[in-house]
């Protein structure tokens, strides 16, 4: 640890620095007794704890240097360590972020402001907390989302820049990400700017497949959480309900435990509505797949699921009794103008199966013939945000 720190956590050809640190931390996360000892020792050592948290994050910032299975274990270990020590990676802390005076949107979670950071337009998602004690308590919850989000890198996942604390009396916490001028997929489609809606289905499927391949469950997939880039590509955002899939090291629970989070009922799978379940059922990859079909419905029809019913409790009862979003008529805009086909509808029905095990895997969606069409949009990829954060964290 000290050797790696003295070399500013850089990879070196002779096996020192991060190479040694990788070997040590890999052994720790695969050895339960060593991992427990690490948590116990660092609990009361703030400076050392921050160093170890930063070391875990920096290892994760070099995905090509770390084996896929190791990355999953290191990420779960970092999240548990962050929880225990109440520290989050230094490189996620931003400074000199400009924020507009008035929010652009507001909801149950808080508010979204437009701002600027290093010459770029950014979105600042501000957590709605107005008591100092609540702010301090929820820094921990925000850091969980930040750790998950900052370790994702895919063209169909919105990048994460970092955490910023507002200079107001409550020191509210912001999650900073790129500003998407096209808004969410609902806004985008209303503007009539999409030449082929099936492309967006493919984008969402690709983003979900990436998350699941990396052990991440989104947990809140819906149209409002899908943003559109300048080039017309869809990307997933809002990881406040994300889960890290179970492993033999850490049992991880979501940031927000309520399975009936306001506004998401119409996208939720029937297993969440069982009245005999006393405890909140955890989100799964299969519940993400169910929600994917609901997003397909949004995109291909222009309506939210169960748009015919104004009350969410009515929707819950309908789903529990086996109902699914209504199929549009053959002469509807969905089939005539928006690109919906019988093959796509059949795929949606497979994703809506009551039994979760009968729903397809995310990777199978990518190979489904209904979504495999020629894409003439410009090639698109994000800049490597992890490299940006490394430059922020390294000593000058």
Q: What does the domain layout of the chain look like in residue ranges?
A: 2-87, 98-180, 185-366
Assign 395 a pLDDT band (cuts: 50, 70, 90): very low
pLDDT of 367 over the 90 cut: yes
- pLDDT band at residue 252 using 50, 70 and 90 as cut-offs: very low
Specify the pLDDT at position 158.
95
Residues 6+ positions from 60 with CB-CB distance below 8 Å:
66, 71, 74, 75, 78, 151, 386
Residue 130 has pLDDT above 60, yes or no: no
Confidence of residue 248 (pLDDT cuts 50, 70, 90): very low
Q: Kindly report the average pLDDT of the chain as a whole number.
A: 84
CATH class of segment(s) 98-180: alpha beta
User: What's the confidence (pLDDT) of residue 250?
Assistant: 29
Q: Are 369 and 343 within 8 A, CB to CB?
A: yes
Nearest CA-CA partner of 141 in 127, 162, 122 = 127
Question: Could you count the other beta carbons within 10 Å of the beta carbon of residue 27?
Answer: 11
Strand-strand pairing, 120-127 and 98-99: unpaired
Predicted local distance difference test score (pLDDT) of residue 85: 82
Q: Which residue has the higher pLDDT, 136 or 327?
A: 327
Q: What is the pTM of this model?
A: 0.86
What token pair was written down for 340?
A: 């919906």
User: Could you tell me which residue, 272 or 170, shows the higher pLDDT?
Assistant: 272
Query: What mean pLDDT comes out for the span 85-110?
Result: 86
Cα–Cα distances in Å, from 164 out to 58, 99, 174?
A: 19, 10, 5
Q: Give me 139's structure tokens.
A: 């820094």
Top CATH class of 185-366 equals mainly alpha
At residue 256, the pLDDT reads 34
Beta bridge partners of 114: 123
Rounded mean pLDDT of 185-213? Answer: 96
Q: What is the pLDDT of residue 41?
A: 76
Residue 182: predicted pLDDT: 96
* Cβ contacts of 374 within 8 Å, gap of 6 or more: none
Q: What share of the chain in percent tops pLDDT 90?
A: 53
Q: Which of 62-71, 245-254, 321-330 has the lowest mean pLDDT?
A: 245-254
Average pLDDT in the 159-170 region? 86
pLDDT at 86: 80
Nearest-angstrom CA–CA distance, 88 and 169: 22
15: pLDDT strictly greater than 50: no
> Are the C-beta atoms of residues 90 and 393 closer than 8 Å to each other?
yes
């Amino acid at each position: 640890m000290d050797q790696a720190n003295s070399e500013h956590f850089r990879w070196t050809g002779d096996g020192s620095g991060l190479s040694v640190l990788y070997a040590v931390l890999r052994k720790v996360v695969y050895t339960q007794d060593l991992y427990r000892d690490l948590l116990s020792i660092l609990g009361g050592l703030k400076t050392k704890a921050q160093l170890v948290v930063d070391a875990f994050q920096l290892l994760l910032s070099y995905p090509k240097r770390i084996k896929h299975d190791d990355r999953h274990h290191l990420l779960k270990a970092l999240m548990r360590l962050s929880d225990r020590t109440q520290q989050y990676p230094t490189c996620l802390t931003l400074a000199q972020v400009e924020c507009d005076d008035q929010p652009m949107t507001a909801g149950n979670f808080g508010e979204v402001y437009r701002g600027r950071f290093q010459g770029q337009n950014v979105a600042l998602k501000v957590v709605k907390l107005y008591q100092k004690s609540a702010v301090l308590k929820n820094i921990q919850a925000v850091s969980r989302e930040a750790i998950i989000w900052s370790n994702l890198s895919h063209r169909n996942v919105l990048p994460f820049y970092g955490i910023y604390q507002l200079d107001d009396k409550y020191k509210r916490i912001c999650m900073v990400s790129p500003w998407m001028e096209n808004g969410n997929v609902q806004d985008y489609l209303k503007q009539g700017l999409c030449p082929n809606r099936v492309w967006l289905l493919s984008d969402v499927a690709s983003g979900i497949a990436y998350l699941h391949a990396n052990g991440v469950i989104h947990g809140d997939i819906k149209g409002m959480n899908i943003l559109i880039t300048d080039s017309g590509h869809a990307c997933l955002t809002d990881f406040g309900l994300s889960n890290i899939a179970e492993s033999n090291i850490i049992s991880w629970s979501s940031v927000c435990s309520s399975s009936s989070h306001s506004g998401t009922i119409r996208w939720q799978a029937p297993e969440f509505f069982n009245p005999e379940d006393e405890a909140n059922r955890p989100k799964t990859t299969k519940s993400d797949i169910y929600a994917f079909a609901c997003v397909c419905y949004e995109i291909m029809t222009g309506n939210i699921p169960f748009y015919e019913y104004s009350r969410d409790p009515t929707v819950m009862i309908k789903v529990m009794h086996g109902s699914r979003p209504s199929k549009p008529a053959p002469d509807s805009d969905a089939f005539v103008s928006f690109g919906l086909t019988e093959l796509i509808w059949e795929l949606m029905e497979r994703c809506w199966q009551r039994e979760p095990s009968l729903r397809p895997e995310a990777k199978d969606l990518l190979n489904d013939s209904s979504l495999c069409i020629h894409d003439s949009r410009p090639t698109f990829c994000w800049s490597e945000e992890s490299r940006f954060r490394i430059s922020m964290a390294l000593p000058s």
